[in-house]
Amino acid sequence: MDNKDALNAFAALSQVTRLNVFRLLVKTGEEGMLAGDISDALDVRQNTMSANLSILTQSGLVRNERQGRSIRYFADMNGVRGLLAFLMEDCCGGHPGLCQPVINEIACAC
């Protein structure tokens, strides 16, 4: 990931509906959600949701899969991993213990 990609990801998350969609998709994990179900869950009109899902998909933080006439969306964990790695790549100035609290905070406790 480079500066341009990171800025694109942050721009995608800088709007409340898109941030809520991303967090919802992270919560659903591998199951993902159909576009209409995301709209219903967040009480957002489908055409508005479609535009927001497109922006999130272009950012690399969300991916989709066509299932018949529907589209299922998922948090793209490779994109998330890339963004986090970009943010942390020069972390700690040679003192890895400084990064450990951050790593512990974001580690999945599933």
Q: What is the pLDDT of residues 41-96, one digit of tens each?
A: 999 999 999 999 999 999 999 999 999 999 999 999 999 999 988 888 877 777 77
What does the pLDDT read at residue 28? Answer: 96
Q: What is the pLDDT of residues 100-110, one digit of tens each?
A: 787 777 777 66
What does the pLDDT read at residue 79? Answer: 95
Distance between CA 39 and CA 71 in Å, rounded?
12
Q: What is the CA radius of gyration of the chain?
A: 15
Instruction: State the first-to-last Cα distance of the chain, in angstroms, to the nearest integer.
Output: 27
What does the pLDDT read at residue 93? Answer: 77
Q: According to the CATH classification, is domain 3-106 in 1.10.10.10?
A: yes
The mean per-residue pLDDT over the stretch 5-17 comes to 97
